[in-house]
Amino acid sequence: MASDEQLNIPQEDLVQAWQQMLPQRLNSGDSTVVSADAADPRTLLVNIKAAGRQKYDFDFSVRYVDSREIDIQVADVEKDGQTTDERSEVPQQLIADYRRHLHECAQSLHHFTHT
């Protein structure tokens, strides 16, 4: 249920804010790249490389429903450079963890997105 509070932040400013804040929310050793979705000014593309020997790489689409709420979709999961089944236990645990971190990042940027 979306509110009438539209997101009125330039997409590049939003990308910059997420690129600065998200690494602070992730686990030590994880790395991330945040970029703009050229098809939708309310959507960010987030790539997270999980730390560790398993070499998981996750692509998320983070869309602002309004100035407060985000919708997170998993776009791709790779293991050691190959697309893998995201429904198995380890990727599911990591996806749940990263969803939480993405929501925490959005909450920490609420002062920026809520105009």
Q: In this predicted model, what pLDDT tens digit does every residue of 56-112 receive, in sequence order?
A: 999 999 999 998 899 999 999 999 999 998 899 999 999 999 999 999 999 999 988
CATH class belonging to 11-110: alpha beta
Domain boundaries, the chain: 11-110
Q: Pairing state of beta strands 43-49 and 56-64?
A: antiparallel
SS (H, E, C) 38-92: CCCCCEEEEEEECCCCCCEEEEEEEEECCCCCEEEEEEEEEECCEECCCCCHHHH
Whole-angstrom distance, CA of residue 73 vs CA of residue 65 = 13
| pTM assigned to the model | 0.92
- Which two structure tokens, joined as six digits, stand for 12? 């590049």
